Structure 1
Amino acid sequence: MTDWIAIGRDGADISAHAMRGASLIKSTRAPDEAGALAALAFEAAQQVRIGDGAPDPLPAPVLPGAAGAALPGLVQKAPPDVIAARVRLWIAGLLARQPGWDGVVCALEDGINHWVQISAGEAVSAQSFLTPRLVSALGGTMPPAPDAIADSLSRPERLAAHLRAAEVSNRPDAISGHLIGVELAAARPYWLGQQVALIAPDGAAPGLDLALGDQGVPVELHSRESLLPEGLGALARAFGLNG
């Protein structure tokens, strides 16, 4: 089995993963690369840099078909978007768990919700939203108010008025609900008539899962943490590091 290390930025920190073929041995996280590697204490001649290199333009395979020294992110020209390489790994983990899966992934990544259309192992298109950042900036709370989600999903043009009413009424849960409702209204082309996989921290996507369920959308929840080992294993197979 090939010993190798996957390393790259993970939010504000650096994450390092000790791999033996397609199996994850250990993961560490530190403010800098030296600290992450020291904590990993794993000897390997080969590293794969997660997030290095020029992003692959959409549409693109979820994982490259040829070995490389890095796994870059994804980029889209219109509408302009950038998707981090670690999101790519989560999606690869989903496809490893459910081969042949087609549909739409909504991946929650540090203040950004990425909606990505997946077909035949490719990321076809994407639309991302800053909804979690707006919820935080405006003092919204979870779980979001279902009535607010419904109001702004059906009347997204009234968002500013809805937010003011929630503020005056001292309803922070309604602030969150209105913002989620507007996101769902804008993302309707992605989820309407599709199956949706929500990839979220600890598998929790407050409001989004229930709101999509209320629209009759088949939704499955996955934790980012559980998909990462499977994504790294898929990367090993794609890069020929599993032998």
Structure 2
Amino acid sequence: MTDWLAVDWGTSHLRVWGMSRAGAVKFRKTSDAGMGTLTRDGFEPALLDLVGDTLGTGTSPVIVCGMAGSRQGWAEAKYMAAPCAPPGIDRATYVPTRDARLSIHILPGVKQTTPADVMRGEETQIAGFLSLNPKFDGIICLPGTHTKWAHISAGEIVSFRTFMTGEMFALLSQQSVLRHTAAGDGWDAEAFAEAVSTGMSNPADLAARLFSIRAEGLLNDLHAAQARARLSGLLIGAELAAARPYWLGQHVALIGDDKLCKAYSDALGAQGLPVERTDAERMTLEGLKAAYARLKESAQ
């Protein structure tokens, strides 16, 4: 049996780790019962379906990060305003349950008023990174569907910006006219590097260069791997141009999917930046473990 549960509840997936008091992982389970598939009264049954057989007869603390705390989730966990330290268990929302074996705590996200921005889930990864690197001052970039650039100083999220680059890539490669040209999952590193440079130096003509990918496919038989890499490079290049105030002259740590982080690492490395790549799942778990440690302290 487990002592507590660490939960990362995203829009499309649910991940649960069974944990010991000392922080050892006893098991890891996943399901497709993401926030986007559930009504509010469906969260507790979905969690029990996945891990109910691992619970003892006593009450198990369950610490949750991610979209379960959104307005459409299990219970809304209000945002903390930046600048702030990544919010911990003292700011969590307690959720009553029918099953007495569960004691649910949902961690809040972080908001920024000007320019308006929000994060939910990434702040826990940042907390995990800072628990392992408490003296870090610099930039944490979290590539993903909605990539975050966060300025970190003195243990706080000072400011951050979100770019919809990942979502734009998915939409353009799967639902736009470019789907005929950038099909598959091939990759061309040289085409990517050239496109990043072009996207950074000429972000204003991004829309025109995107259509050129389609035109080259029709006129010059542009290979799908080159088209896909060029699409990604142009989008990431335009993002880097806009995010330059964050990364220029900074040490950057990347947290995210390994393949996507490599693309960002290659793009930033071409600018001469020192880049540190980390394991996203480990950062999430370390952030949840840090919250549990505070919960234990408060109970003593």
Same-fold call, TM > 0.5? yes
* 2:162 aligned residue (128, 137, 154): 128
In the alignment of these two chains, the number of paired residues is: 240
Residues 4-46 of structure 1: CA distance to partner in whole angstroms, max 9, x if unpaired? Answer: 3333522323333333335133332231542333432233433
Displacement after TM superposition at 1:81 (Å): 1.3
Give distance in 1, aligned partners of 2:137 and 2:259.
20
Give distance in 2, aligned partners of 1:46 and 1:122.
26
Q: Secondary structure at the match of 1:200?
A: coil
Partner of 1:229: 285
Superposed, 1:201-240 pairs within 5 Å as: 201-202=257-258, 204-240=260-296
Partner of 1:57: 81
- Conservation of the 8 A alpha-carbon contact between 1:62 and 1:88: yes
Superposed, 1:164-183 pairs within 5 Å as: 164-170=211-217, 171-183=227-239
Q: Secondary structure at the match of 1:104?
A: strand
* 1:102 aligned residue (137, 141, 156): 137
- Conservation of the 8 A alpha-carbon contact between 1:105 and 1:115: yes
Greater shift in the superposed pair: 195-204 or 208-217? 195-204
Q: Higher helix fraction: Structure 1 or Structure 2?
A: 2
Q: Secondary structure at the match of 2:268?
A: helix
Which residue identity does 2:140 align to in structure 1?
Answer: V
Q: CA RMSD in A?
A: 2.4
Superposed, 1:156-171 pairs within 5 Å as: 156-170=203-217, 171=227
TM value normalised by structure 2? 0.72
- Conservation of the 8 A alpha-carbon contact between 2:63 and 2:292: no
Displacement after TM superposition at 1:166 (Å): 2.0
What stretches of structure 1 of length at least 5 have no aligned partner? none
Displacement after TM superposition at 1:227 (Å): 1.8
Q: Secondary structure at the match of 1:100?
A: coil
Return closer, same or farther for 1:120/1:22 CA change in 2, 3 Å cut-off.
farther
Displacement after TM superposition at 1:232 (Å): 1.9
Q: Higher strand fraction: Structure 1 or Structure 2?
A: 1
Return closer, same or farther for 1:203/1:195 CA change in 2, 3 Å cut-off.
farther
Partner of 1:26: 27
Greater Rg by CA: 2
Displacement after TM superposition at 1:95 (Å): 1.2
Give the structure, 1 or 2, with the largest relative contact order (CA under 8 Å, sep 6 or more).
1
Partner of 2:13: 13
Displacement after TM superposition at 1:129 (Å): 0.6
* 1:42 aligned residue (55, 70, 77): 55
TM value normalised by structure 1? 0.87
Residues 212-239 of structure 1: CA distance to partner in whole angstroms, max 9, x if unpaired? Answer: 0111111011121222232222112233
- Conservation of the 8 A alpha-carbon contact between 1:3 and 1:20: yes
